[in-house]
């Protein structure tokens, strides 16, 4: 499967970042399309950091969104730091496909890699990833099972 790649650099004042470097778009996982970060939550930084790809190959990447606090994310996962590392990798909490960012141990802020995510217009995105009826059926979710779950919940709450 070929994933979308952002090979063009982000420019301040462009369609992805305002003049102050704030992200103008919703940031999503490029593998599963889960919402990672809302608009205006990260600030663009031109710094380099070594990151591994999904298959463990290291590469130096150069544009990141600095996120001030882990609670700023809509959806993020992390792993433990490797032996001798002073940082841990961040990943999409939904699919955990690949490292998409880094966080220094003990720091509140983190870096989200521009080339490892995709962007979506906040005016047309309804929030978290929406699934199709076919995807729902594949997960065993259907209208009947949702109605049964709602009824069971109501019974537990004494309604």
Q: What is the pTM of this model?
A: 0.72
Q: What is the pLDDT of residues 6-59, one digit of tens each?
A: 656 677 767 888 889 999 899 999 899 899 999 999 999 999 988 888 888 888
Share above pLDDT 70 across residues of the chain, in percent, rounded to a whole number = 75
Cα–Cα distances (Å) from 34 to 4, 107, 118, in that order, read 14, 25, 10
Question: What gap in Å lies between CA 109 and CA 69, rounded to an integer?
Answer: 5
Question: What gap in Å lies between CA 69 and CA 19, rounded to an integer?
Answer: 22
Residue with tokens 């778009």: 25
The pLDDT of residue 91 is 93
The pLDDT of residue 112 is 95
Can you tell me whether residue 145 is helix, strand or coil? helix
The pLDDT of residue 83 is 84
Task: Indicate the DSSP class of residue 12.
Answer: B
Residue 100 or 145, more confident: 100
Task: Indicate the DSSP class of residue 151.
Answer: H
H-only helix segments in 76-156 = 133-138, 143-156
């Amino acid at each position: 499967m070929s994933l979308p790649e952002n090979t063009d650099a982000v420019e301040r004042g462009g369609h992805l970042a305002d003049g102050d470097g704030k992200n103008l778009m919703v940031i999503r996982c490029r593998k599963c399309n889960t919402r990672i970060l809302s608009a205006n939550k990260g600030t663009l930084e031109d710094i380099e950091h070594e990151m591994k790809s999904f298959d463990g190959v290291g590469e130096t990447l150069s544009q990141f969104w600095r996120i001030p606090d882990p609670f700023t994310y809509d959806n993020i996962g992390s792993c433990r730091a490797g032996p001798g590392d002073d940082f841990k990798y961040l990943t999409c909490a939904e699919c955990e496909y690949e490292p998409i960012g880094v966080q220094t141990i003990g720091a509140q802020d983190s870096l989200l890699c521009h080339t490892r995510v995709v962007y979506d217009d906040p005016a047309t995105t309804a929030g978290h990833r929406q699934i199709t009826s076919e995807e729902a059926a594949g997960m065993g979710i259907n209208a009947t099972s949702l109605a049964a779950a709602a009824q069971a919940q109501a019974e537990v709450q004494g309604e």
